[in-house]
């Protein structure tokens, strides 16, 4: 009887402990224009769900114009705001 022993090789990239602590599981990108009232409702709920599920995440709000109310609503919950540089399709 022959016993064949092989070593399993992982195809998963190895992540250093330092990078693992700062790496993200999910990036949420939300296009929005003049959506401050809706973001004020959505973002706290979304952040709570992600936290309950222990999903390390970041939230980006992409807006075509620098809308102060939308920016404030997003930043109040820790979301990052990006102003779209070029007009998109759709």
Q: Which residue has the higher pLDDT, 11 or 57?
A: 57
Q: Specify the pLDDT at position 11.
A: 46
Q: Tens of pLDDT along 50-75?
A: 999 999 999 999 998 888 999 999 99
The DSSP result for 23-57, as a single string, is: --SEEEEEE-SS-HHHHHHHHHHHHHHHHHTT--E
pTM of the model: 0.70
């Amino acid at each position: 009887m022959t016993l064949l022993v092989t070593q399993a090789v992982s195809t998963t990239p190895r992540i250093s402990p330092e990078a693992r602590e700062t790496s993200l599981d999910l990036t949420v990108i939300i296009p929005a224009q003049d959506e401050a009232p809706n973001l004020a409702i959505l973002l706290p709920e979304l952040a709570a769900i992600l936290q309950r599920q222990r999903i390390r995440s970041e939230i980006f709000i992409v807006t075509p114009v620098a809308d102060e109310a939308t920016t404030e609503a997003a930043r109040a919950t820790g979301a990052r705001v990006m102003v779209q540089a070029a007009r998109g399709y759709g």
